[in-house]
Chain A
């Protein structure tokens, strides 16, 4: 059988499952999936299929499992580290974005269940219309799917805490719904808990990068939609004082979902305010989101008191910005100041994120900045113009911080620059690993970079689970470690 015959057979079999119109094999359609939001590329697929239901995904996986066909899963295509490579040219790519329906919003129980291909922005809109709010940290909500978030970035996004149940299609086509609620092993018509009646299998699938199964549906806890926002923005000259403010903030309140605190590094504010003098100052923005004016005013007063007692100062420019931010309201995703449009306009991005214990920041942060500056000096020597720096960090919880020290470049159409930035991103990750940091993204190249740091025991556990669920290594081959190739070598 020729490769062409083989591709036709796969196409016909998939068309029988999802109908002909949702299967594409021509070069034009397939090539469009060869890129994503990263510099590392998308998937080189033979066939792209857009399933519409869990049952269709199950049938596709059964077919792929039977015929040993590699399957790569794609949500919003917004990963900054690329997609799984799979087996280039032979992959069946599941484009999950047709599975974009909200299945149920339970206003009494305050939960939402939705298909996994839905974009977080659309899901948020549906929840907001019901007067509810799904916690989505400041992130590109319009390009991140629920399934992609759970697979690839849930660890950094906080949504893992709110996730109650996930419906997963295993590599052999078996459908399993984790947690407690409809369709699970707990006979309860409301979703309520994910680790009751057995191990927390939902947790096993969160952050797996899509390695253990295809997420098709999920149920997530909701909160009441915050309608009142207050903001405080102050300048600090001393990083230690900033961290003390972060500690005291976290001591009295969990910053997420409603009271995020963002710290911008020196120079970043110039991007927002031409009046900034570029001095070595940190700018701290505290947001208070909630349901009553009285509560938010009290929170603002307390935050201001703490910040001012630590030497934070107000300026007219920051006060003006405070007013704008206070008018934002209704959740962090409405803060257009940090929207994707803003970052897209800055130039070609070297995304340099970090996740760090709060207490380690004073020691590590200067090292990260120094590392970046050294690379930017090299960039300048090679004629690449860095046009913007974006430095910020935010407490993820009481003990950890996540942030970025990104650099943006002009001349996006230079292949040499793109190569430079790709290397910069990879080298930065390797450097942060040396410092004991791990990124929360579990997609594309990041999976193998993170897996390189695994202990023998952790690697053994992963391999055991992966080989049990996916003995032929057909699902997202090459993610984390090469189980498919390992098997072939055996």
Chain B
């Protein structure tokens, strides 16, 4: 018989390190309008934010709480944005790491649910995992789809024509025609700067991020192990991702196992910042715009990339960057993280997006800029639903406008 609560037991130190003080749900300062986006748009009971979830995790470990369908919903109602960890701020004095890894705890609870009570997990998630198994794409589309975005471009296959730079487009952009321009523009910008990226096209694997986030830890681990081998085989020196989720997975999650990823991993904003800094791109003023930059949780809180996107925006003539009060490590999640776009038909994610958009509306900004396709899609939906005048762009769009 398989061990019960296996994943949760592995994070028990983190669970018991939590003093359940509640700062993770109630801190308010000038820079932190609220901590938990889920608590903001739900009736606000304790189980909707980190403290309550950790109390429940402890109850599960101690046999005081029984798994249930309601509990599964609670466990999946979390964007894994990590703002609770930032605002908790307690550091393990031995390791220098956050004392309470709430993201790890929620992922572990999800993992145990998938292992022990998959019938209570939202069918959308199970569908995603099954699609990944079949197509290596959580969007459930055949492999051939993944190269469609590059149809009119001259981008070599990385295994056939190795390049120092591999463009890792990510399943979300490669599977959604509305997002294809993001990848196309990225290639055009890179080529203009003298960077000749290769791609993997239909062979580009799913990075395994979303699978890990929704609790399929074993499946994600296997995917990552296989991917490391493939990515190392390309011989590239640098992997450039367009998706913050892919970047975080490749950089952080891939370093957890015995097999190591050889190439350096950069999100495209990091490369763009370098190209602009060293004059490889010559941006010209096309339009003047006041913009707000939204730090994607994966890129900001999880990877610490805060300056590069701002350096990029500040280098574009005519673009005026305005900072919201909740910015950088205090950024408010767009609502799409942790698989929330799939949960409850995406309604909760959209509501969270609307709340996050409100803070932009309070500034003089005309547009919200992000660097993650999930943020972009969710903000687009939120903006449309609330008739917001705020336009939503990816940072690639602005750079492309400025250099072409």
Contacts and interface: CB of A to CB of B under 8 A. Distances in A.
Nearest to B22: A143
Interface stretch (A56-64, A167-175, A340-348, A391-399): A340-348
Interface stretch (B66-74, B202-210, B241-249): B66-74
Interface stretch (B38-46, B164-172, B350-358): B38-46
Interface residues of A, number: 42
Interface string B39-61: 00001111100011101101100
Given A27-B68, A32-B46, A76-B26, A344 B55 contact: no
Interface string A277-321: 000000000000000000000000000000000000000000000
Interface stretch (A118-126, A189-197, A213-221, A459-467): A118-126
Contacts of A142: 22-23, 26-28
Contacts of A77: 20, 22, 46, 51
A142 B16 CA distance: 21
Given A27-B68, A32-B45, A37 B21 contact: yes
A196 B286 CA distance: 68
Interface in A123-164: 125, 128-129, 140, 142-143
Interface stretch (B91-99, B302-310, B341-349, B394-402): B91-99
A341 B71 contact: no
A435 B17 CA distance: 33
Nearest to A119: B26
Given A345-B91, A345-B99, A28 B46 contact: no
A420 interface: no
Nearest to B15: A413
Interface in A42-101: 48, 50, 76-78, 95, 97-98
Most chain B CB atoms below 10 A, which of A21, A32, A125, A342: A32
Interface string B9-38: 000110111011111001111100000000
A387 B29 CA distance: 31
Contacts of A27: 65-66, 68, 70-71
Given A29-B45, A35-B55, A95-B45, A413 B16 contact: yes
B64 interface: yes
B65 to A, nearest CB: 5
A29 B48 CA distance: 9
Q: Size class of B's contact patch?
A: 35 or more
A412 B70 contact: no
Contacts of A97: 26, 44
Contact of A143 (B15, B21, B64): B21
Interface in A1-29: 21-22, 24, 26-29
Nearest to B31: A125
A341 B17 CA distance: 12
B89 interface: yes
A198 to B, nearest CB: 35
A349 interface: yes
A334 B198 CA distance: 51
30 contacts: A27-B66, A27-B70, A28-B56, A28-B68, A29-B47, A29-B70, A31-B56, A31-B65, A32-B47, A32-B52, A33-B52, A34-B64, A35-B20, A50-B45, A76-B26, A77-B20, A77-B51, A95-B45, A97-B44, A119-B26, A119-B28, A142-B28, A143-B23, A341-B88, A341-B90, A342-B90, A344-B99, A345-B92, A387-B93, A412-B17
A36 B21 CA distance: 7
Contacts of B13: 412-413
Nearest to A410: B94
B29 A121 contact: yes
